[in-house]
Amino acid sequence: MRRHKQNWQPYIFGGEEVRNFSEFSYMLSMRYVDFHVCGASVIHLKWALTAAHCFEGHIFADMVSFRAGSLNRFIGGKIIHAESFFLHPNFDAATYNNDVAVVRTIEEFSGENIRPVPLIGFNFMLRPGLMGTISGWGISHEGSLPSHLQKLDLMIWNQNDCTEKWFGQINLGMFCAGGDKGFDSCNGDSGGALVINGVQVGIISAGATDCGVSFPSVFVNITNPIIRAFIKERTKV
Protein backbone atom coordinates (compact mmCIF):
# COMPACT_ATOMS: atom_id res chain seq x y z
CA MET A 1 0.00 0.00 0.00
CA ARG A 2 1.41 3.36 -0.97
CA ARG A 3 1.97 5.73 1.92
CA HIS A 4 2.15 9.50 1.58
CA LYS A 5 3.82 11.86 3.98
CA GLN A 6 0.60 13.66 4.70
CA ASN A 7 -0.57 10.38 6.26
CA TRP A 8 2.56 9.90 8.35
CA GLN A 9 2.03 9.93 12.08
CA PRO A 10 3.83 12.41 14.36
CA TYR A 11 5.22 9.69 15.95
CA ILE A 12 8.38 2.68 20.85
CA PHE A 13 6.49 0.02 19.39
CA GLY A 14 7.80 -3.42 20.34
CA GLY A 15 10.60 -2.01 22.50
CA GLU A 16 11.62 -2.76 26.07
CA GLU A 17 11.65 -0.77 29.29
CA VAL A 18 14.79 1.19 30.07
CA ARG A 19 16.39 -0.11 33.26
CA ASN A 20 19.63 1.87 33.34
CA PHE A 21 18.78 5.55 32.99
CA SER A 22 22.44 6.57 32.90
CA GLU A 23 22.46 5.71 29.18
CA PHE A 24 19.44 7.95 28.52
CA SER A 25 19.98 10.90 30.85
CA TYR A 26 19.62 13.25 27.86
CA MET A 27 16.05 12.07 27.24
CA LEU A 28 13.16 14.48 27.80
CA SER A 29 9.40 14.27 27.85
CA MET A 30 8.25 17.42 26.05
CA ARG A 31 4.94 18.63 27.43
CA TYR A 32 2.37 21.13 26.21
CA VAL A 33 0.03 22.34 28.96
CA ASP A 34 1.38 19.46 31.09
CA PHE A 35 0.53 16.75 28.53
CA HIS A 36 3.26 14.67 26.87
CA VAL A 37 3.41 15.51 23.16
CA CYS A 38 6.90 14.54 21.99
CA GLY A 39 10.35 13.42 22.95
CA ALA A 40 13.37 15.71 22.97
CA SER A 41 17.03 15.61 23.97
CA VAL A 42 19.26 17.78 26.14
CA ILE A 43 22.11 19.19 24.04
CA HIS A 44 23.26 22.03 26.34
CA LEU A 45 22.52 23.42 29.79
CA LYS A 46 19.74 25.57 28.34
CA TRP A 47 18.94 23.97 24.99
CA ALA A 48 16.79 21.03 23.92
CA LEU A 49 16.58 19.48 20.45
CA THR A 50 13.36 18.08 18.98
CA ALA A 51 11.29 17.85 15.78
CA ALA A 52 9.74 20.97 14.28
CA HIS A 53 6.39 19.28 13.69
CA CYS A 54 6.02 18.88 17.47
CA PHE A 55 5.10 22.58 17.52
CA GLU A 56 2.25 22.39 15.03
CA GLY A 57 -0.65 23.98 16.90
CA HIS A 58 1.63 24.71 19.89
CA ILE A 59 2.65 28.31 19.39
CA PHE A 60 3.15 29.60 22.92
CA ALA A 61 6.54 28.92 24.49
CA ASP A 62 5.21 29.49 28.00
CA MET A 63 2.94 26.46 27.54
CA VAL A 64 5.92 24.18 26.75
CA SER A 65 7.94 22.38 29.41
CA PHE A 66 10.11 19.29 29.79
CA ARG A 67 10.33 16.55 32.38
CA ALA A 68 14.03 15.75 32.76
CA GLY A 69 15.89 13.17 34.80
CA SER A 70 13.09 10.61 35.10
CA LEU A 71 12.17 7.34 33.43
CA ASN A 72 8.53 8.07 34.23
CA ARG A 73 6.80 10.79 32.22
CA PHE A 74 4.40 11.51 35.10
CA ILE A 75 6.64 11.75 38.16
CA GLY A 76 10.22 12.30 39.28
CA GLY A 77 13.08 14.34 37.94
CA LYS A 78 12.43 18.04 37.46
CA ILE A 79 10.29 20.27 35.26
CA ILE A 80 12.16 22.69 33.00
CA HIS A 81 10.21 25.48 31.31
CA ALA A 82 10.69 26.77 27.77
CA GLU A 83 11.65 30.38 27.20
CA SER A 84 11.55 30.36 23.39
CA PHE A 85 11.75 27.97 20.47
CA PHE A 86 13.05 28.11 16.92
CA LEU A 87 11.93 25.98 13.99
CA HIS A 88 14.18 25.50 10.99
CA PRO A 89 13.23 28.40 8.67
CA ASN A 90 12.69 25.97 5.78
CA PHE A 91 10.63 23.40 7.68
CA ASP A 92 7.85 22.07 5.47
CA ALA A 93 4.95 20.49 7.35
CA ALA A 94 3.69 18.76 4.19
CA THR A 95 6.95 17.03 3.27
CA TYR A 96 8.68 16.98 6.69
CA ASN A 97 11.76 18.56 5.12
CA ASN A 98 14.02 20.19 7.75
CA ASP A 99 11.93 18.79 10.61
CA VAL A 100 14.14 20.18 13.37
CA ALA A 101 13.61 22.65 16.22
CA VAL A 102 15.61 23.88 19.19
CA VAL A 103 14.18 25.11 22.49
CA ARG A 104 15.81 27.62 24.82
CA THR A 105 14.86 27.02 28.46
CA ILE A 106 14.47 29.25 31.50
CA GLU A 107 16.06 26.86 33.99
CA GLU A 108 19.19 24.82 33.34
CA PHE A 109 19.18 21.13 32.53
CA SER A 110 21.21 20.15 35.56
CA GLY A 111 20.88 17.73 38.44
CA GLU A 112 20.79 14.01 39.04
CA ASN A 113 20.29 11.86 35.93
CA ILE A 114 20.39 14.87 33.56
CA ARG A 115 23.21 15.43 31.11
CA PRO A 116 23.50 16.53 27.46
CA VAL A 117 24.06 14.11 24.62
CA PRO A 118 26.94 14.88 22.23
CA LEU A 119 25.87 15.72 18.67
CA ILE A 120 27.49 14.24 15.60
CA GLY A 121 29.60 16.61 13.52
CA PHE A 122 29.12 17.75 9.94
CA ASN A 123 29.11 15.24 7.06
CA PHE A 124 29.63 12.09 9.12
CA MET A 125 28.85 9.11 6.90
CA LEU A 126 25.89 7.11 8.22
CA ARG A 127 26.82 3.71 6.87
CA PRO A 128 24.06 1.20 6.13
CA GLY A 129 23.99 -1.56 8.72
CA LEU A 130 25.00 0.63 11.65
CA MET A 131 22.82 0.05 14.72
CA GLY A 132 21.26 2.97 16.56
CA THR A 133 19.06 3.23 19.64
CA ILE A 134 15.87 5.24 20.04
CA SER A 135 13.91 5.86 23.22
CA GLY A 136 10.57 7.40 24.09
CA TRP A 137 7.15 7.23 25.64
CA GLY A 138 5.28 6.70 22.37
CA ILE A 139 2.40 4.29 21.82
CA SER A 140 3.29 0.67 22.64
CA HIS A 141 1.78 -2.65 21.57
CA GLU A 142 -0.99 -2.05 24.10
CA GLY A 143 -2.15 0.99 22.11
CA SER A 144 -1.50 3.58 24.81
CA LEU A 145 1.34 5.82 25.93
CA PRO A 146 3.47 3.98 28.52
CA SER A 147 4.44 5.75 31.72
CA HIS A 148 7.94 4.19 31.65
CA LEU A 149 10.62 5.05 29.07
CA GLN A 150 11.03 2.45 26.32
CA LYS A 151 14.01 1.77 24.05
CA LEU A 152 14.60 -0.02 20.77
CA ASP A 153 17.61 -0.79 18.57
CA LEU A 154 17.21 -0.08 14.84
CA MET A 155 19.45 -0.65 11.82
CA ILE A 156 20.32 2.20 9.42
CA TRP A 157 19.14 1.68 5.84
CA ASN A 158 20.95 2.27 2.58
CA GLN A 159 19.88 5.75 1.42
CA ASN A 160 18.79 4.62 -2.05
CA ASP A 161 16.69 1.81 -0.59
CA CYS A 162 15.17 4.27 1.86
CA THR A 163 14.25 6.66 -0.94
CA GLU A 164 12.76 3.87 -3.04
CA LYS A 165 10.73 2.52 -0.12
CA TRP A 166 9.24 5.97 0.48
CA PHE A 167 8.51 6.60 -3.22
CA GLY A 168 11.17 9.27 -3.72
CA GLN A 169 10.10 11.42 -0.77
CA ILE A 170 13.43 11.11 1.09
CA ASN A 171 16.21 13.70 0.75
CA LEU A 172 19.72 14.05 2.18
CA GLY A 173 18.33 15.68 5.32
CA MET A 174 16.62 12.39 6.17
CA PHE A 175 17.51 8.74 6.66
CA CYS A 176 15.66 5.50 7.36
CA ALA A 177 16.09 2.99 10.16
CA GLY A 178 14.19 -0.04 11.39
CA GLY A 179 11.31 -1.55 9.47
CA ASP A 180 11.07 -4.95 11.14
CA LYS A 181 7.41 -5.84 11.60
CA GLY A 182 6.25 -5.13 15.14
CA PHE A 183 9.21 -2.90 16.04
CA ASP A 184 9.01 0.83 15.38
CA SER A 185 8.72 4.35 16.71
CA CYS A 186 5.11 5.47 17.15
CA ASN A 187 2.85 8.35 18.17
CA GLY A 188 4.46 10.31 21.00
CA ASP A 189 8.05 9.37 20.10
CA SER A 190 8.61 12.23 17.64
CA GLY A 191 11.49 14.53 18.49
CA GLY A 192 13.41 11.88 20.38
CA ALA A 193 17.03 11.03 19.63
CA LEU A 194 18.56 8.24 17.59
CA VAL A 195 21.93 7.59 19.19
CA ILE A 196 24.94 5.58 17.97
CA ASN A 197 27.71 4.86 20.47
CA GLY A 198 26.49 7.62 22.78
CA VAL A 199 26.29 10.30 20.07
CA GLN A 200 23.04 11.67 18.64
CA VAL A 201 22.88 11.34 14.86
CA GLY A 202 19.14 11.62 14.21
CA ILE A 203 15.77 12.92 15.38
CA ILE A 204 12.62 10.79 15.19
CA SER A 205 10.53 12.45 12.50
CA ALA A 206 7.95 10.28 10.76
CA GLY A 207 6.75 6.82 9.87
CA ALA A 208 3.90 4.88 8.32
CA THR A 209 0.38 5.63 9.53
CA ASP A 210 0.17 2.22 11.21
CA CYS A 211 2.97 1.68 13.72
CA GLY A 212 4.86 -1.59 13.58
CA VAL A 213 4.27 -2.42 9.91
CA SER A 214 7.19 -3.52 7.74
CA PHE A 215 8.14 0.04 6.80
CA PRO A 216 11.17 1.99 8.04
CA SER A 217 10.88 5.04 10.25
CA VAL A 218 12.24 8.33 8.94
CA PHE A 219 14.73 10.44 10.90
CA VAL A 220 16.17 13.92 10.58
CA ASN A 221 19.82 13.53 9.54
CA ILE A 222 21.80 15.73 11.94
CA THR A 223 24.98 15.18 9.90
CA ASN A 224 23.41 17.02 6.97
CA PRO A 225 25.09 20.45 6.65
CA ILE A 226 21.79 22.34 6.40
CA ILE A 227 20.42 20.69 9.54
CA ARG A 228 23.66 20.83 11.52
CA ALA A 229 24.32 24.48 10.61
CA PHE A 230 20.89 25.50 11.90
CA ILE A 231 21.51 23.78 15.25
CA LYS A 232 25.00 25.27 15.51
CA GLU A 233 23.88 28.79 14.60
CA ARG A 234 21.08 28.86 17.16
CA THR A 235 22.65 26.99 20.08
CA LYS A 236 26.43 27.19 19.47
CA VAL A 237 26.48 23.40 20.02
The band of 9, judged by pLDDT with boundaries at 50, 70 and 90, is very low
Q: Which of 25, 36, 41, 53 is catalytic?
A: 53
Q: Which of 65, 99, 140, 217 is catalytic?
A: 99
pLDDT for residue 139: 56
Question: Whole-angstrom Cα distance, residue 41 to residue 188?
Answer: 14
| Lowest-pLDDT choice from 48-62, 78-92, 177-191 | 177-191
Question: Whole-angstrom Cα distance, residue 10 to residue 33?
Answer: 18
Question: Whole-angstrom Cα distance, residue 6 to residue 187?
Answer: 15
The pLDDT tens digits of the residues spanning 109-143 come to 999 899 999 999 987 889 999 999 999 887 554 45
Higher pLDDT, 104 or 186: 104
Tell me the domains of the chain and their CATH numbers: 5-18+118-223 (2.40.10.10), 25-116+227-235 (2.40.10.10)
- Compute φ and ψ for 126, nearest 5 degrees: -85, 95
The band of 4, judged by pLDDT with boundaries at 50, 70 and 90, is very low
Q: Which of 65, 140, 190, 205 is catalytic?
A: 190
DSSP class per residue in 112-133: TT--PPPBP-TT----TT-EEE
Closest alpha carbon to 158 in 170, 144, 145, 142: 170
Residue 99 annotated among the catalytic residues of the structure:
yes
Residue 53 annotated among the catalytic residues of the structure:
yes
Work out the mean pLDDT of the chain and round it to a whole number. 86
Question: Whole-angstrom Cα distance, residue 73 to residue 48?
Answer: 17
pTM for the model stands at 0.90
